[in-house]
Each structure stands twice: as C-alpha cells, then as structure tokens.
Amino acid sequence: MPGSHVCQTCGKEFAQSSHLTVHMRTHTGEKPYVCKTCGKEFAHSGALTEHIRTHTGEQPYVCDTCGKTFAQSSHLTTHIRTHTGEKPYKCKTCGKEFSTSSNLTVHMRTHTEEKPYECKICANAFARFDSLTTHMRTHTGEKPYKCGTCGKEFAESGHLTAHIRTHTGEKPYKCGTCGKEFAESGTLATHIRTHTGEKPYVCDTCDKTFSQSSDLTVHMRTHTGEQPYECKICGNAFSTSGHLTTHMRTHTGEQPYECKICGLAFSQSSSLTRHKAIHPRDEWGELKDYW
C-alpha cells in the first residue's frame, strides 16, 4: 500500500508509523509503560490504562440494555452479543459460529488437534489454558473452591456448583427420552448416550471407543503408562484418582463399605461384593431379607 510502513522482521504492513512502533515491541519485548501501583509493564499505553482499572475498580463502559458495566470497551462489545445473539466469528471448516474470536480460536483446535498448553510435570497437553490450570491441581492438590455449607473443597468451580446441588436437591437437566433428571449438564449428556449408543471418543492407538472423554483419558494411560496420581505418604503412583483413593485406605485404615448382614467392613466395594456371596440366598438368588 502507498505510504505504508513495513516491519523489517516479519513483513507486516501498517498505515501509520506509530502502529509500526507498537508492533515492533512484539519482536523486541519492550514494555515501556509501567503501572505505578504494582510495577507491571505493558507494551502500549492503552493496555496500561485498562490495567489501572483493576486497581481503581473503574468500569466506564455501560451496557444500555441491562446496565452492566465493564472496565474494557472490548468486554462491553462482547457482552452486548449476549443480548443481540450476534456471532460474527465463523469456523471455515464446519460453519459453527462464535461470539468471540478467542472462542473460535479454541474451537479450531478441535479440527487441528493443536494442544499448545503443556504440563511441565507430566507432559500432558491441552487445547485451552484453563484446562491446563485445572490439570495442574492434580499435581499440587490445590482445591480453591469451597462449599459454604459443608466446607468440602474442589479443584474446579463446576464441581463445586454440582456439589451444592447435593444440598439443594436441584436437578435442572432433564432427559427428553426417559425424563430422568440430573444435577450436571455433562452427566445428562453422558446419560443420553445410553439411549443413542454413541461413543464419540476414539483412542488413536487402538481405535477403542468411549462414551465419555474421561474414560478415554484413563484408557490412554494403558498405552502411555502415565500414573499422575501419587501417594504423598509412600510415593506409589496410580493411573486414576479412584485407585489412589482406594490405596490411601491402606494408610488410614478406613473401611467405608459395610456388610449390612454381619457388620464386616471393607476398604473396597469389590471386596464387599465378593463377601456377600457367603450369606444365604432364597430360591430366586436374592439375599434373604437384608438387601
């Protein structure tokens, strides 16, 4: 373009020299704008201005529809789409539309299988940064989400939300086929596959299919040998959190599975199941009057 300003490093062109100056900082790493409150540095003045609002609490951008306020104009623009339903970002592969460019970027990884966020401890990789953040808690044991009713802690906010429904009894997700209700949308989605038989999660190594992504994740460890759940007492490692939970009982002595007939208790549900066989059954094979 006539009069354009060209980056000598990557060839990108700009209409104004000031825009080129700001762009060059993506190559040099220069961040000349410094927050006087916390010392954080920024490559351009606009980013510093928006950051300062995290200290002042200022939210000058107001939604005319609902009155909600925002610290950044871009956040207001995105929010307005919740009212208009506008989805300007379209996937060129499958046609799915999104309200934000970042959601489209994440979605594209379902096609490219790109997983740019890698765990430096176990080398698991993720398509989303928040998925990596959640995964890291399997190593650190951090559980930042606490139930205000019983004090139970969770590594994910969604797990806390679902847990709270065990207190309220709320089950907002209903199966359209059989009417069964669920506390979590994910549980409903999994349940629906019991009607459809769908198993959308495929192992790239042996082609085995699964109805839940979590089952595929666990299965993949039979190929990789990964054991991300480590006992902090003896150092033994396990491929699933359930196996670690069971193992911990060898240290604590906990035996939560109790026989209602004779009172014997066991650390594993499978041990209780085997134990039941020693008790008398009626002619239909049912335990007599106890279960």
pLDDT at site 235 = 92
Confidence class of residue 288 from pLDDT cuts 50, 70 and 90?
low
Q: What is the mean pLDDT of the chain?
A: 89
Look up residue 10 and give its two tokens.
């990557």
**Phi and psi for 6 in degrees, rounded to 5?**
-110, 135
**pLDDT beyond 90 at 15:** no
As a whole number of Å, the end-to-end CA separation of the chain is 82
Confidence class of residue 64 from pLDDT cuts 50, 70 and 90?
very high
The predicted model gives 266-282 an average pLDDT of: 83
Q: 17, 5 in Cβ contact below 8 A?
A: yes
Q: 44, 33 in Cβ contact below 8 A?
A: yes
The predicted model gives 197-223 an average pLDDT of: 91
Confidence class of residue 153 from pLDDT cuts 50, 70 and 90?
very high
What is the C-alpha separation between 215 and 111, in angstroms, rounded? 21
The percentage of residues in the chain with a pLDDT greater than 70, rounded to a whole number, is 96
CATH 3.30.160.60 correct for 5-56: yes
E-strand ranges in 26-126 read 33-34, 41-42, 61-62, 69-70, 89-90, 97-98, 117-118, 125-126
**pLDDT beyond 50 at 156:** yes
pLDDT at site 3 = 54
Q: pLDDT (tens digit, 9 = 90+) per residue, 218-242? A: 999 999 999 999 999 999 999 888 8
Q: pLDDT (tens digit, 9 = 90+) per residue, 160-203? A: 998 999 999 999 999 999 999 998 888 898 899 999 999 989 99
**pLDDT beyond 60 at 159:** yes
Confidence class of residue 291 from pLDDT cuts 50, 70 and 90?
very low
| pTM, full prediction | 0.45
**pLDDT beyond 80 at 280:** no
E-strand ranges in the chain read 5-6, 13-14, 33-34, 41-42, 61-62, 69-70, 89-90, 97-98, 117-118, 125-126, 145-146, 153-154, 173-174, 181-182, 201-202, 209-210, 229-230, 237-238, 257-258, 265-266
Q: 155, 145 in Cβ contact below 8 A?
A: yes
Confidence class of residue 85 from pLDDT cuts 50, 70 and 90?
very high
Q: pLDDT (tens digit, 9 = 90+) per residue, 101-115? A: 989 999 999 999 899
